[in-house]
């Protein structure tokens, strides 16, 4: 016994056995469960359900039968899997919000757009929908191959004849192992026209096809915005389509938003719950009431607005934060010749045409065989009827049927089948009318054979037959498009609803950012102590602040040399005492040790301005501003840096100014910007200033021929010095002294070009901020110590300075 068992053992490495078993499993899922066949657009479970219903005679004109009966028939004969899985598949084919053209006509509760489950299968009833007859049409005419069912007791079709282009009109979705499919539904009338166009012109381009098949047509309607995603899906098999709900505004004094159509596959109940939570959490304001007034006549979601609410603002917030706007990812993956393949729109159509050519060819050959067999019998009957007296004499004179058959075959040169048909002929055939009927039947069959042979004589004839059948389908089942497609955004964009406002943006070294209206800060005189501009933790200091507009772009440059940009209104607004929001939430993928070094407000990315970069080691680079207009979400490389170098400053320039690079030890190097040739975005730059070993670059200024240069030290001292006092050197020199650096002044932190009517905003590491008129700061020579600009608490130091754009609208008196 033990010996027999050991002889049956098969020793394998577990890793190889697991690999083999998983591959077998994954292929089974791909081929037998999750992906549709390109020919009929069905997965095996749906195909078996429809064939079981066909065998049960559940056509659209027959009475409904219990769903449990259909499920049992499918399970017992063809699909030995879970009964609930089969019922779910049956129910989905009956849902008019899931399939553009439902294949099952259900009676009872088959689920809803609210996510309700279908009633138990013992309660619901079903039959095939009227359009489903197209899926099984001619299946008995040897149009498809057959295979054994799971136990070999029955035969089932490998694929349905599918005169209906089901995969195109109803789409499909499924998750296999390592792959998934998500195919969009389309309008039948457009699909028929598209197929005919491909038949007529094999070289038709995708753009021309899009003029016929305009895009997905979802059963729930909605509005598709833009055609780029559709074009990608049709030309590559992959694409993203943005769909919005259909909405309208009602009411005079009290406005309300009415939603009548939802994006495809959006759960209405979950949507309403999500809106309610957003209103409760005050992420969406202006909504006073929310109710669902949907009934059997259609969908109607009512969103009541408050009296002071702007309906377009609320609507755009709903689109941004809820599934009233969603993205449908198209992936046209189907089984082609036994293998999964991603298909373009044209390829999907070509596979349908190729399959229908095969089906019609097999159907025609079947009909031809049957017609030839029939006319053969009719020829024998006509011979017998013309010689009826002799035939009767031969039959009466024969002792046995076999003798009569053989004598008839010999006398009239008949085949065995013809002789048998004569012997089985009823006496009523001997009447005059019946004789005429046989002759007419013979002539009709002869004409049928000629037509069938003509049909098989060329592929073009078969293609014409396909076109004719498609036009009949369109005439009978075609309908209007439900999903509207618009070229671009319609209505007011969220940005258009944001007021243009000057704001102060602050960034801390711990990565917090916020914006505050400029009018929050009062103008003070030199020596004032300022207002608290930010509540910071002890270890958190403000590293940058600047003035910008809510509608301007803000470019962020990190010490690692990467660039990002945001619109001003995207930065969260805060009060003077709030710490702001973590910048990582706005500028993703910052590396460890990476922080924002410079932020520049930019109104427009053009070819007339440049970005000038300076690094800690004194390198400089100039690049055209337009090279940075396509900043990706994850940022782009702004400058190539050595391993031990960092980006210290970035300035905007028109390319005709002078550059001043300032060092911590109080040196300043002035040279013409023209000495720095424009370079590409991902370059290292050239030497801008030569530094002593213990020195480093701390600031960059872009200046003209006139004006003042403001120098600020970390201990709150500074001065204005005429730019003309800084003699021009050349790029790569050590420069001249800009201010005396000693124990009182400390190191230099910033150098900026200023005018008499400018104002500056200083920020200390403890978060104190002050606005000071530049006119209050004394002019002094280069080699001087400067005057006190800001009184600091003990241990506090200035970390940031920003020049305020003069605007009387937000200035306030002392």
Cβ proximity of 548 and 517 under 8 Å = no
Domain 360-477, CATH among 3.90.1300.10, 3.30.1490.190, 3.90.330.10, 1.10.268.10? 1.10.268.10
Query: How much is the pLDDT for 805?
Result: 46
611: exposed, middle or buried (Cβ count in 10 Å: 0-12, 13-18, 19+):
buried
Q: How far, in Å, CA of 799 to CA of 715, rounded?
A: 10
Consecutive H or E run containing 48: helix 44-55
Q: How far, in Å, CA of 350 to CA of 793, rounded?
A: 79
**Residue 814 scores a pLDDT above 80:** no
Q: How far, in Å, CA of 342 to CA of 334, rounded?
A: 7
Q: How far, in Å, CA of 125 to CA of 139, rounded?
A: 25
CB atoms under 10 Å from CB of 458, counted, come to 10
Mean pLDDT of all residues in 592-621: 88
Enumerate the domain spans of the chain.
15-183, 246-323, 360-477, 498-804
Query: How much is the pLDDT for 244?
Result: 94
* Structure token pair of residue 576: 């003077």
Over the stretch 790-805, which tens digit does the pLDDT of each residue have? 998 888 998 877 766 4
Query: How much is the pLDDT for 212?
Result: 96
Higher pLDDT, 26 or 722: 722
Query: How much is the pLDDT for 2?
Result: 52
Query: How much is the pLDDT for 808?
Result: 39
Which CATH code is given to the segment(s) 246-323? Answer: 3.30.1360.40
Q: How far, in Å, CA of 704 to CA of 673, rounded?
A: 10
Q: Which residues pair with 488 in a beta bridge?
A: none
Non-local (6+) Cβ contacts of 96 within 8 A are: 102, 219
**Residue 633 scores a pLDDT above 90:** no
Catalytic residue among 64, 123, 264, 726: 123
Secondary structure string (H, E, C) spanning 593-649: CCCEEEEEEECCCCCCCEEEEEECCCEEEEEEHHHHCCCCCCCEECCCCCCCCCEEE
Lowest mean pLDDT among 150-164, 378-392, 450-464: 378-392
Q: What is the mean pLDDT of the chain?
A: 87
Q: How far, in Å, CA of 327 to CA of 263, rounded?
A: 9
- Please tell me the class of the 15-183 domain: alpha beta
Q: How confident is the model at residue 812 (pLDDT cuts 50, 70, 90)?
A: very low
Query: How much is the pLDDT for 84?
Result: 95
Lowest mean pLDDT among 25-34, 70-79, 213-222, 565-574: 25-34
Query: How much is the pLDDT for 13?
Result: 81
Query: How much is the pLDDT for 806?
Result: 47
- 171's torsion region: left (phi>0), alpha (psi -120 to 50) or beta? left
Q: How far, in Å, CA of 707 to CA of 714, rounded?
A: 23
Q: How far, in Å, CA of 367 to CA of 142, rounded?
A: 10
Q: Taking Cα atoms as reference points, which of 41, 482, 36 lies closest to residue 218?
A: 482
Q: How confident is the model at residue 580 (pLDDT cuts 50, 70, 90)?
A: confident
CB atoms under 10 Å from CB of 525, counted, come to 11
Instruction: Report CA-CA distances (Å) from 452 to 134, 256, 437, 449.
Output: 21, 63, 22, 5
Mean pLDDT of all residues in 410-422: 91
Query: How much is the pLDDT for 538?
Result: 43
Q: How far, in Å, CA of 199 to CA of 384, rounded?
A: 48
Q: How confident is the model at residue 159 (pLDDT cuts 50, 70, 90)?
A: very high
Highest mean pLDDT among 88-92, 395-399, 524-528, 553-557: 88-92
Whole-structure pTM value:
0.63
> Could you give the count of Cα atoms lying within 13 Å of 620 in the half-sphere of its Cβ?
33
Over the stretch 325-352, which tens digit does the pLDDT of each residue have? 999 999 999 999 988 999 999 999 999 9
Over the stretch 647-696, which tens digit does the pLDDT of each residue have? 988 988 888 888 999 998 899 999 999 999 999 988 999 999 999 888 89
Query: How much is the pLDDT for 302?
Result: 96
Query: How much is the pLDDT for 490?
Result: 47
CB atoms under 10 Å from CB of 186, counted, come to 27
Q: Which residues pair with 709 in a beta bridge?
A: 721, 753
Query: How much is the pLDDT for 539?
Result: 43
Lowest mean pLDDT among 513-522, 592-601, 614-623: 513-522
Question: Could you identify the residue written with the tokens 């600031």?
Answer: 699
Q: How confident is the model at residue 4 (pLDDT cuts 50, 70, 90)?
A: low
Lowest mean pLDDT among 229-233, 486-490, 514-518, 759-763: 486-490
Alpha helix segments (H runs only) across 304-413: 311-321, 345-386, 388-396, 401-412
Q: Which residues pair with 243 in a beta bridge?
A: 224, 326
Higher pLDDT, 17 or 371: 371
Query: How much is the pLDDT for 704?
Result: 76
Q: How far, in Å, CA of 31 to CA of 44, rounded?
A: 9
Q: How far, in Å, CA of 627 to CA of 638, rounded?
A: 9
Mean pLDDT of all residues in 106-132: 96
Highest mean pLDDT among 148-152, 319-323, 355-359: 355-359
Mean pLDDT of all residues in 40-67: 96
Query: How much is the pLDDT for 811?
Result: 41
CA angle 281, 284, 288 (to 5 degrees): 90
Query: How much is the pLDDT for 240?
Result: 94
3-state secondary structure of 140: coil
**Residue 426 scores a pLDDT above 70:** yes
Q: How far, in Å, CA of 149 to CA of 155, rounded?
A: 6
Non-local (6+) Cβ contacts of 622 within 8 A are: 610, 611, 612, 613, 653, 655, 673, 676, 677, 678, 679
Highest mean pLDDT among 73-87, 298-312, 571-585, 725-739: 73-87
Higher pLDDT, 4 or 440: 440
Query: How much is the pLDDT for 552?
Result: 85
Which CATH code is given to the segment(s) 498-804? Answer: 2.120.10.90
Query: How much is the pLDDT for 313?
Result: 79
Consecutive H or E run containing 210: helix 206-210
Consecutive H or E run containing 104: strand 104-107
Mean pLDDT of all residues in 21-49: 79
Query: How much is the pLDDT for 311?
Result: 84
Instruction: Report CA-CA distances (Å) from 535 to 73, 751, 760, 769.
Output: 72, 26, 21, 11
Active site residue 123: yes
Query: How much is the pLDDT for 447?
Result: 96
């Amino acid at each position: 016994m033990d010996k027999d068992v050991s002889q049956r053992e098969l020793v394998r490495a577990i890793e190889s056995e697991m690999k083999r078993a998983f591959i077998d499993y994954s292929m089974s899922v791909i081929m037998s469960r999750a992906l549709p066949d390109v020919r009929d657009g069905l997965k095996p479970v749906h195909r078996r359900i429809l064939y079981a219903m066909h065998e049960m005679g559940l056509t659209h004109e027959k009475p409904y039968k219990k769903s449990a009966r259909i499920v049992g028939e499918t399970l017992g004969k063809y699909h030995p899997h879970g009964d609930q899985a089969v019922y779910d598949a049956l129910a989905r084919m009956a849902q008019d919000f899931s399939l553009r053209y439902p294949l099952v006509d259900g009676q009872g509760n088959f689920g809803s757009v609210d996510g309700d489950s279908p009633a138990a299968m013992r309660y619901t009833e079903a039959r095939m929908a009227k359009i489903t007859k197209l899926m099984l049409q001619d299946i008995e005419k040897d149009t498809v191959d057959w295979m054994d069912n799971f136990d070999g007791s029955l035969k089932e079709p490998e694929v349905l004849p599918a005169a209906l282009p089901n995969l195109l009109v109803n789409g499909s979705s499924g998750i296999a192992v390592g792959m998934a499919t998500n195919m969009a539904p389309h309008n039948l009338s457009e699909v028929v026209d598209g197929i005919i166009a491909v038949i007529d012109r094999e070289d038709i381009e995708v753009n021309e096809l899009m003029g016929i098949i305009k895009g997905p047509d979802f059963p729930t309607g909605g509005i598709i915005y833009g055609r780029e995603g559709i074009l990608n899906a049709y030309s590559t098999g992959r694409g993203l389509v943005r769909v919005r709900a259909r909405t309208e505004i009602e009411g005079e004094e009290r406005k309300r938003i009415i939603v009548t159509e939802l994006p495809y596959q959006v759960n209405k109940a979950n949507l309403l719950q999500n809106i309610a939570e957003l209103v409760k959490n005050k992420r969406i304001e202006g909504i006073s009431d929310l109710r669902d007034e949907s009934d059997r006549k259609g969908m109607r979601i009512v969103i009541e607005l408050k009296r002071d609410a702007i309906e377009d603002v609320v609507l755009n917030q709903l689109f941004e934060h809820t599934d009233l706007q969603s993205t449908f990812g198209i992936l046209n993956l189907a089984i082609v010749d036994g293998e999964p393949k991603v298909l373009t729109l044209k390829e999907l159509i070509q596979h349908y045409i190729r399959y229908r050519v095969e089906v019609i060819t097999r159907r025609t050959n079947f009909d031809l065989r049957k017609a030839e067999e029939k006319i053969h019998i009719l020829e024998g009957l006509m011979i017998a009827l013309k010689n009826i007296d002799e035939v009767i004499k031969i039959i009466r004179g024969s002792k046995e049927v076999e003798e009569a058959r053989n004598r008839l075959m010999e006398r009239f040169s008949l085949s065995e089948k013809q002789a048998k048909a004569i012997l089985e002929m009823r006496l009523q055939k001997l009447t005059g009318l019946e004789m005429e009927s046989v002759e007419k039947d013979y002539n009709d069959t002869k004409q049928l054979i000629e037509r069938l042979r003509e049909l098989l004589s060329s592929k073009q004839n078969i293609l014409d037959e396909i076109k004719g059948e498609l036009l009949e389908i369109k005439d009978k089942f075609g309908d209007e498009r439900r999903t509207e497609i618009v070229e671009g955004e319609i209505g007011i964009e969220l940005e258009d609803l944001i007021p243009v406002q000057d704001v102060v943006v602050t960034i801390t070294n711990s990565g917090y950012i916020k914006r505050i209206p400029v009018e929050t800060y009062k103008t003070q005189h030199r020596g004032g102590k300022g207002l608290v501009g930010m509540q910071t933790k002890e270890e958190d200091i403000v590293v940058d602040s600047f003035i910008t507009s809510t509608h301007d772009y803000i470019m962020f440059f990190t010490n690692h040399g990467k660039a990002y940009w945001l619109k001003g209104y995207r930065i969260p607004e805060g009060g003077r005492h709030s710490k702001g929001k973590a910048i990582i939430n706005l500028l993703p993928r910052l590396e460890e040790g990476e922080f924002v070094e410079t932020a520049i407000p930019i109104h427009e990315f053009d070819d007339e301005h440049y970005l000038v970069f300076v690094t800690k080691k004194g390198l400089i680079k100039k690049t055209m501003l337009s090279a940075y207009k396509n900043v990706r979400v994850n940022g782009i490389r702004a400058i190539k840096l050595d391993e031990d170098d960092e980006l210290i400053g970035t300035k905007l320039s028109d390319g005709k100014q002078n550059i001043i690079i300032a060092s911590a030890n109080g040196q300043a190097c002035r040279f013409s910007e023209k000495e720095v040739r424009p370079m590409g975005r991902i370059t290292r730059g050239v030497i801008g200033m030569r530094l002593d070993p213990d020195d480093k670059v701390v600031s960059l200024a872009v200046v003209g021929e006139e004006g003042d240069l403001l120098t600020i030290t970390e201990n709150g001292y500074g001065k204005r010095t005429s730019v003309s006092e800084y003699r021009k050197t050349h790029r790569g020199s050590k420069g001249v002294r800009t201010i005396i650096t000693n124990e009182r002044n400390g190191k230099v932190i910033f150098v900026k070009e200023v005018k008499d009517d400018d104002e500056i905003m200083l920020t200390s590491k403890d978060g104190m901020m002050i606005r000071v008129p530049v006119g209050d700061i004394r002019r002094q020579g280069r080699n001087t110590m400067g005057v006190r600009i800001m009184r600091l608490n003990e241990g506090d130091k200035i970390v940031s300075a920003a020049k305020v754009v003069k605007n009387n609208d937000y200035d306030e008196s002392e």
